[in-house]
């Protein structure tokens, strides 16, 4: 009996050693990369929060989802606001940004962009009952801007020429409210975005023609995540070819 017990103990010890070595020799399972992608949090129809669904929706959200499905990559979305989104990518805290972000030479110094996925431009916006007819009428008045945007850039570049001052806000809704409550008289907003807001009942109107027509792009930190930009471009081509891209725009009335 004692011999059998010793034999059993020895056998178990050998099995434990073999198992341990087998575990060490086993190759680690490759984990699929999950990208962190950031976006604006209030820029309808490209991104906005749907309280009924409890999630962010919009053109950018749908285009990214369709491209990710087409290309087989996974991602986590964080809707943090436009300026914070750009800062997170630049700081290496996120892999990419999609947020109605216009492709410009200045931004190309710090970001690598995808092919353009939507063309838009800016337009002068005032209260629905305003008597402002042109940018010349802004002299001596205060214009709202949204931090980090092309509308803000245009407003700042032209404030001395037309004699107005600017006041910065974090989001589109904040600058709209500043106009509605009389703290500011105007802003420069993306044409498609303000058009969506007006259709949904906000008491604002546009003045004049579209300014600086240009394309939005998906962007990564310069020199990083080239594979993600490549997948975005390939996926964009595919969803345009198979009709998904047009279906997404039609869903939002475009």
The CA dihedral of 205, 208, 210, 211, to the nearest 10 degrees, is -120
Nearest to 239 by CA among 73, 67, 64: 67
- The span from the CA of 105 to the CA of 25, in Å, is 51
Q: Which residue has the higher pLDDT, 111 or 17?
A: 111
Residue 235 main-chain phi, psi, to 5 deg: -65, -40
Q: What is the DSSP secondary structure assignment for residue 30, as one 8-state letter? A: P
Question: For 134, what's the count of Cα atoms within 13 Å in the CB-facing half-sphere?
Answer: 2
Mean pLDDT of 186-212: 96
Answer whether residue 27 shows pLDDT above 50.
no
The pLDDT score that the predictor gives to residue 52 is: 94
Q: How many residues does the chain have?
A: 254
Mean pLDDT of 35-54: 96
* 59 touches 118 (CB < 8 A): yes
Entry pTM: 0.83
- The span from the CA of 126 to the CA of 232, in Å, is 36
Token duo for residue 127 = 């209260």
């Amino acid at each position: 009996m004692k011999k059998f017990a010793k034999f059993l103990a020895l056998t178990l010890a050998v099995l434990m050693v073999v198992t341990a070595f087998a575990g060490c020799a086993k190759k680690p399972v490759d984990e699929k990369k999950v990208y962190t992608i950031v976006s604006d949090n209030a820029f309808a129809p490209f991104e906005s929060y749907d309280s009924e669904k409890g999630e962010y929706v919009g053109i950018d959200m749908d285009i990214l989802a369709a491209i990710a499905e087409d290309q087989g990559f996974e991602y986590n979305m964080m809707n943090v606001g436009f300026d914070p989104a750009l800062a997170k990518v630049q700081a290496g805290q996120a892999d990419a940004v999609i947020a109605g972000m216009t492709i410009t030479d200045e931004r190309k110094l710090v970001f690598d962009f995808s092919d353009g996925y939507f063309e838009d431009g800016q337009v002068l916006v005032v209260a629905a009952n305003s008597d402002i007819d042109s940018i010349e009428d802004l002299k001596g008045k205060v214009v709202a801007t949204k931090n980090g945007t092309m509308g803000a850039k245009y407003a700042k570049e032209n404030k001395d020429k037309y004699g107005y001052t600017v006041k910065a806000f974090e989001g589109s809704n904040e600058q709209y409210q500043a106009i509605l409550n009389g703290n500011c008289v105007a802003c420069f907003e993306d044409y498609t975005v303000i058009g969506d807001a007006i259709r949904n009942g906000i008491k604002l109107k546009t003045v004049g023609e579209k300014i600086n027509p240009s394309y939005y792009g998906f962007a990564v930190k310069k020199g990083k995540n080239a594979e993600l930009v490549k997948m975005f471009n390939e996926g964009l081509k595919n969803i345009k070819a198979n009709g998904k891209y047009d279906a997404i725009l039609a869903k939002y009335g475009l």
